[in-house]
Amino acid sequence: MNKVVSFSSGKGGVGKTSLVANMGALLARSGKRVLLIDGDWSLGKLKLTLGVKTTWTLDQVLKGEVELKDAISKVSENLYLLASPNGVLGFEELTEIERNQLFFEIEGLEDEYDFVFLDHSSGIGLDVLHFAAAAHEHLILTTSEPTSYTDAYAIMKLLSKRFAVRNFKLMVTMSHNLPESWGIIERFAEVARTKLDVRVKIVDVLDFDPRVSESIRAAKLFVNQFPESVLSRKLEKAVLSLEPEARRQHGLNFFFGKTSNLLG
- pLDDT, tens digit, for every residue of 12-26? 889 999 999 999 999
Confidence at residue 8, expressed as pLDDT on a 0 to 100 scale? 92
Q: Decide: 50 and 219 in contact? Cβ < 8 Å.
A: yes
pTM: 0.90
Rg of the Cα atoms in the chain: 17
Range of the domain at 224: 3-254
Read off the pLDDT of each residue in 60-68 and give the average, rounded to a whole number.
91
Long-range contacts of 10-13 (CB under 8 A, 24+ apart): 10/122, 10/123, 10/124, 10/142, 10/148, 10/150, 10/151, 10/152, 10/153, 10/154, 10/155, 11/122, 11/142, 11/143, 11/147, 11/148, 11/151, 11/152, 12/122, 12/123
For the chain, how many structural domains are there in total? Answer: 1
In a domain, 263, yes or no: no
CA distance 104 to 252: 9
Confidence at residue 42, expressed as pLDDT on a 0 to 100 scale? 72
Of 16-30, 34-48, 240-254, minimum mean pLDDT range: 240-254
CATH classification of the domain holding 247:
3.40.50.300
Contacts of 217 (CB under 8 A, 6+ apart): none
In a domain, 222, yes or no: yes
Q: Decide: 80 and 113 in contact? Cβ < 8 Å.
A: yes
The residues facing 170 across adjacent strands are 140, 202
Read off the pLDDT of each residue in 164-180 and give the average, rounded to a whole number.
96
Using the CB atoms, write b or e for 45-65: b if 16+ within 10 Å: bbbbbbebebebbbbbbbeee
In a domain, 261, yes or no: no
Confidence at residue 234, expressed as pLDDT on a 0 to 100 scale? 97
Confidence at residue 248, expressed as pLDDT on a 0 to 100 scale? 47
